[in-house]
């Protein structure tokens, strides 16, 4: 499940500096007699537990992150803020100004989940999801990186045959602050027949497409050098522009094999032949759909993290799954995607990969031990059903 060696992203100036004694050190080992002084900048993390199961899985993740950091001499300063439904209840706004300000001042943002049935009747502009869109736009987190990896321990938990999914390792690069979710005009109206209508605008500029394409090409270079661009250029002008720009950018990456696929075919191939894909780049709405579909290759959304990076400011790290209000407070949620999101944060924004290694190793260890929350549980002699808090306790043991 480790993402080491396949990552991209900005190098944050938060690396820990170690002053070691004069002894010659073997890489990876430090003599007990060596005198070590660790001088670290505290990593400032804006923590957004959000709604539903968010607080439960965030508690597990921050405890694991703190312990993994302590083992590597890294420290974290957590600032908890409101977003989504919790923010609406407290302030009347899905994204309070204070939350955005704190996020901008942080080294990274760790987000659990937002939304729930409670707020479904609110006007569109006041719903929890608007807070998520607003913080992405406010931090200019334009590139969403969603790995879809099938752990060897869970290949039999997939709804697809083991031979189809075992070894799948896909990275979906989704443009996150443009397209139909942000395009104007949008809203409700009345057509010439007097019928009520709803409308949205799918729009991309050349610079928006170029910057996400470059992120994807750079990612492909660090992996298997294969990139598939997904769009619908046979019927959509916005997709025709997308394809044109991606092809142009691809000339700067002659070592990367570029292919193109319509969204409907891509959705089918993800289930028919998922190993065909390495890196996928696509727009906002198509990326939303494909990444959720790809998550089911492993049998559950509860295992997949994501990173939303800007290239200049703090990124947002969150699990792919939602707030699951139907199981909130029951201690049955799967915290592993939240923990893996924290690991991605350590790699991409905080530049402390050894902490990420520890978190990912602990996740692999609990899966190897047969521990499963309800969403990934399959009865057998080598598996045991555990609650969210118990999974957290077992993670701490392995850390």
* Catalytic residue numbers, as ranges: 181, 232, 264, 288, 292
In the chain, which ranges are continuous DSSP H helix?
Answer: 54-71, 85-91, 97-105, 128-138, 162-165, 206-221, 237-250, 263-272, 284-295, 336-348, 353-368, 388-398
Instruction: Report the alpha-carbon distance of residue 270 to residue 329 in Å, rounded.
Output: 34
**Parallel, antiparallel, or unpaired: how do β-strands 196-199 and 371-372 relate?**
unpaired
Nearest 5°: the CA angle 121, 124, 128 is 80
Instruction: Report the alpha-carbon distance of residue 172 to residue 338 in Å, rounded.
Output: 18
Which of these, 240, 174, 187, lies nearest to 213 by C-alpha position? Answer: 174
Instruction: Report the alpha-carbon distance of residue 376 to residue 303 in Å, rounded.
Output: 9
Instruction: Report the alpha-carbon distance of residue 62 to residue 68 in Å, rounded.
Output: 10
* Cβ–Cβ under 8 Å, residues 369 and 314: no
Instruction: Report the alpha-carbon distance of residue 199 to residue 88 in Å, rounded.
Output: 26
Q: Residue 253: what are its φ and ψ, rounded to 5°?
A: -130, 65
Radius of gyration of the chain (CA): 22
What is residue 38's DSSP assignment? E
* Cβ–Cβ under 8 Å, residues 295 and 301: yes
- Ordered DSSP codes for 79-122: EE---THHHHHHHSSSS-HHHHHHHHHSSEEEEEE---GGGTTS
Strand partners, 145: 173, 307
Nearest 5°: the CA angle 10, 308, 112 is 125
């Amino acid at each position: 499940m480790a993402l080491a060696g396949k990552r991209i992203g900005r190098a944050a100036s938060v690396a820990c500096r170690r002053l070691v004694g004069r002894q010659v050190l073997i890489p990876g080992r430090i003599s007990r007699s060596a005198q070590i002084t660790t001088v670290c900048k505290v990593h400032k993390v804006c923590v957004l537990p959000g709604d539903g199961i968010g607080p439960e899985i965030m508690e597990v993740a921050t405890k694991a992150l703190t312990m993994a950091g302590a083992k590597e001499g890294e420290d974290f300063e957590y600032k908890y803020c409101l977003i989504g439904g919790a923010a609406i209840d407290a302030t009347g706004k899905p994204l309070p100004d204070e939350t955005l300000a704190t996020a901008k001042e942080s080294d990274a943002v760790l987000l659990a989940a937002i939304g729930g049935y409670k707020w479904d009747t609110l006007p569109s502009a006041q719903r929890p999801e608007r807070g998520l869109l607003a913080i992405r736009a406010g931090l200019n987190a334009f590139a969403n990186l969603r790995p879809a990896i099938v752990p060897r321990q869970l290949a039999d938990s997939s709804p697809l045959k083991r031979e189809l999914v075992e070894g799948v390792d896909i990275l979906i690069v989704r443009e996150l602050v443009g397209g139909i979710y942000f395009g104007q005009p949008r809203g409700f109206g009345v057509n010439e027949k007097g019928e009520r209508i709803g409308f949205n605008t799918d729009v991309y500029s050349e610079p928006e497409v170029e910057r996400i394409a470059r992120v994807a090409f750079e990612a492909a270079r660090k992996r298997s050098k294969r990139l598939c661009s997904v769009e619908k250029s046979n019927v959509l002008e916005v997709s025709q522009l997308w394809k044109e720009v991606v092809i142009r950018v691809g000339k700067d990456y002659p070592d990367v094999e570029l292919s193109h696929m319509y969204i409907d075919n891509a959705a089918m191939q993800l289930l028919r032949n998922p190993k065909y894909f390495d890196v996928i780049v696509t727009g906002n709405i198509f990326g939303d759909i494909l990444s959720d579909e790809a998550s089911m290759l492993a049998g559950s959304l509860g295992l997949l993290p994501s990173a939303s990076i800007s290239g200049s400011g703090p990124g947002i790290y969150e699990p792919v799954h939602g707030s699951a209000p139907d199981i909130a407070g029951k201690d049955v949620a799967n915290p592993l995607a939240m923990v893996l999101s924290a690991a991605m944060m350590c790699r991409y924004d905080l530049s402390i990969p050894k902490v990420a290694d520890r978190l990912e190793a602990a996740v692999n260890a609990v899966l190897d031990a047969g521990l499963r929350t309800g969403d990934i549980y399959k009865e057998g002699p080598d598996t045991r059903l555990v609650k969210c808090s118990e999974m957290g306790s077992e993670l701490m043991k392995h850390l």
